[in-house]
Amino acid sequence: MPIKARKTASSKMKSDQDLLLVWETLCQASTQPPKIKGQRTHGAACSHIEAKSVSTKPERITLKKMPSIREALKDTGVTPAEVFTVLAPKMDASPSLHNGKAQFPTPLTNYLDSQYFGEISIGTPAQLFNVVFDTGSANLWVPSQSCSPLYTACFTHNRYDSSKSHTHIQNGTGFFIQYASGNVRGFLSEDVVVVSGIPVVQVFAEATALPAIPFIFAKFDGVLGMGYPEAAIDGITPVFDRIMSQGVLKEDIFSVYYSRDPGHIPGGELLLGGTDPNYYTGSFHYVNTKGKGKWEVIMKGVSVGEETLFCTEGCNTMIDTGSSYITGPASSVSLLMKTIGAVELAEGGYTVNCDLVMSLPSVTFHLGDQEYPLTQEDYILWQSQFGVNICTVTFRELDLPPPAGPVWILGTKFIARYYTMFDRANNRIGFAQAL
């Protein structure tokens, strides 16, 4: 969940209709029309721009479950503790001013354990990228071919090369996302972005500066924000809003499934325009978003076992597909860890004695008029290191100052248990028991 920064140069954003007209002109002038899945082409003209009837079937994006940054670090013999030792001198949690507005940095470790990525394409012909679909942000960024050789993280990923795309539209406005350990910086471009066969002409960021740690170890190339337009940097219309504006979806919703089975293929699924009953059971229960602009709700309590310990008067809670763990205010998480007998690690996480895992209590989140319990199987991560079992608790402390915080964040560990539907039409989030 990056903290939003403002543009460094002015840029007038085109309307969806204007952008499509620009793309159509470029395509008609091209000898190689884009090939979009499930769309017809006639000569050099981009016939897939023509109005498409409302789809009766949701558009599926298969999600791959790949090694996380933390797992990649382990494979190279580098421990997370060593990473945090490097990051510590650079970390600064104090707000800074950008265009007169305070921006509060968020640790890059949000993506440290991200495992679920999906493929998109940018440009004509298509250039492929693995991205994290992140409801905690609203922009799309990928590494740029223009990335400086000084930033080695760029060169371990697919990079967008505008010179190889004949539908690229130059923009050049400066772009950055502020993190506690540094900035992802670059500039804006426009091009054809294809998500699950749906083409949109999209303003996105070409990242020319990526912090080596942790991105050099990441298995994903970039981030595609699924948040509201109000959350977007530079006032850019998000990808999902572009898709909705075409009227191609049966419903203006998207839903997320994350498999809890490490060997399951696919590792998960992002479904645009509907839900998939193959991945959940029972009915959806809905919680209205706190206000238009964020996938944030009011949580009514957090219980450990039978006792409600936190949020008794309500607290802000984000449902974040880009955050692997469950985070909360440090005072609350610290007490929760003490309650279950967890021991803090040097890098900020917690572990428990693996022999005691089955005796741990459930942790229940009260959302709307429903209770959503996580058992010890849901919130304990079993790992083996040097032949020794390590049981990590999937809760993390995160203190964000107002207005961003205090906040709880329910990430992929929660979504893996509860199939989640994000309803833009009604500004609500629905949960059902995942299979």
Kindly state whether residue 200 falls inside one of the protein's structural domains: yes
Higher per-residue confidence, 31 vs 313: 313
Measured CA to CA, the distance from residue 189 to residue 110 in angstroms comes to: 26
- Give the tens place of pLDDT for each residue, 134-183: 998 999 999 999 998 888 889 989 999 999 999 999 999 999 887 644 57
Kindly state whether residue 205 falls inside one of the protein's structural domains: yes
- Give the tens place of pLDDT for each residue, 325-359: 899 999 999 999 999 999 998 767 899 999 999 99
Q: What is the mean pLDDT of residues 288-293?
A: 88
Q: What range defines the domain where residue 326 resides?
A: 278-434
Contact assessment for residue 95 and residue 401, using Cβ atoms and an 8 Å cutoff:
yes
Q: Out of 61-75, 201-215, 362-376, which region has the weakest mean confidence (pLDDT)?
A: 61-75
- Give the tens place of pLDDT for each residue, 99-108: 443 333 333 3
Q: For all residues of the chain together, what is the average pLDDT?
A: 80
229 and 102, same domain (yes or no): yes
**Paired sense of beta strands 296-304 and 101-103, if any:** unpaired
Kindly state whether residue 256 falls inside one of the protein's structural domains: no
Confidence of residue 44 (pLDDT cuts 50, 70, 90): very low
Predicted confidence at residue 63, as pLDDT, reads: 86
| Total number of domains constituting the chain | 2
% of the chain at pLDDT higher than 70: 74
Higher per-residue confidence, 160 vs 76: 160
Confidence of residue 20 (pLDDT cuts 50, 70, 90): low
> Sheet of 388-393: strands edge to edge?
343-344, 350-352, 388-393, 380-385
Q: What is the mean pLDDT of residues 381-402?
A: 87
Dihedral sign computed on CA atoms, order 400, 402, 403, 406: positive
**What are the residue ranges of helices labelled H in 181-282?**
212-215, 239-245
87 and 213, same domain (yes or no): yes
Kindly state whether residue 8 falls inside one of the protein's structural domains: no
CATH of the domain at 346: 2.40.70.10
In 3-state terms, what secondary structure has residue 206? strand
223 and 287, same domain (yes or no): no
Take residue 231 and report the two structure tokens written for it.
């959350």
Dihedral sign computed on CA atoms, order 403, 396, 95, 135: negative
178-188 core/surface letters (b: 16 or more CB in 10 A; e: else): bbbbbbbbbbb
Question: DSSP for 239-306?
Answer: HHHHHHHTT-SSSSEEEEEE-S-TT-SSSEEEEESS--GGGEEEEEEEEE-SSTTSSEEEEEEEEETT
- Give the tens place of pLDDT for each residue, 406-420: 999 999 899 999 999
Predicted confidence at residue 68, as pLDDT, reads: 59
In 3-state terms, what secondary structure has residue 131? strand
Take residue 163 and report the two structure tokens written for it.
């010179």
179 and 327, same domain (yes or no): no
Does residue 125 have a cis peptide bond before it, meaning omega lies within 30 degrees of 0?
yes
239 and 300, same domain (yes or no): no
Maximum distance among all alpha carbons in the chain? Answer: 67
168 and 298, same domain (yes or no): no
Higher per-residue confidence, 179 vs 294: 294
219 and 334, same domain (yes or no): no
CA atoms within 13 A on the CB side of 111: 28
Asked about 423 being catalytic, the answer comes back as no
Alpha-carbon distances, residue 14 vs 17, 18, 412 (angstroms): 8, 6, 34
Measured CA to CA, the distance from residue 189 to residue 174 in angstroms comes to: 10
Catalytic residue among 134, 221, 234, 423: 134
111-132 core/surface letters (b: 16 or more CB in 10 A; e: else): bbbbbbbbbbbbbbebbebbbb
User: What one-character DSSP code corresponds to residue 270?
Assistant: E
CA atoms within 13 A on the CB side of 142: 29
Contact assessment for residue 208 and residue 146, using Cβ atoms and an 8 Å cutoff:
yes
375 and 289, same domain (yes or no): yes
208 and 318, same domain (yes or no): no
**Would the pLDDT of 11 be above 50?**
no
CA atoms within 13 A on the CB side of 360: 29
Kindly state whether residue 364 falls inside one of the protein's structural domains: yes
Catalytic residue among 113, 221, 241, 320: 320
Confidence of residue 110 (pLDDT cuts 50, 70, 90): very low
**Would the pLDDT of 251 be above 70?**
yes
The structure's pTM equals 0.80
Measured CA to CA, the distance from residue 187 to residue 277 in angstroms comes to: 41
Kindly state whether residue 177 falls inside one of the protein's structural domains: yes
Asked about 320 being catalytic, the answer comes back as yes
Measured CA to CA, the distance from residue 135 to residue 423 in angstroms comes to: 12
User: What one-character DSSP code corresponds to residue 106?
Assistant: B
Measured CA to CA, the distance from residue 105 to residue 330 in angstroms comes to: 16
Contact assessment for residue 321 and residue 374, using Cβ atoms and an 8 Å cutoff:
no
133 and 231, same domain (yes or no): yes
The number of beta carbons lying within 10 Å of the beta carbon of residue 81 is 13
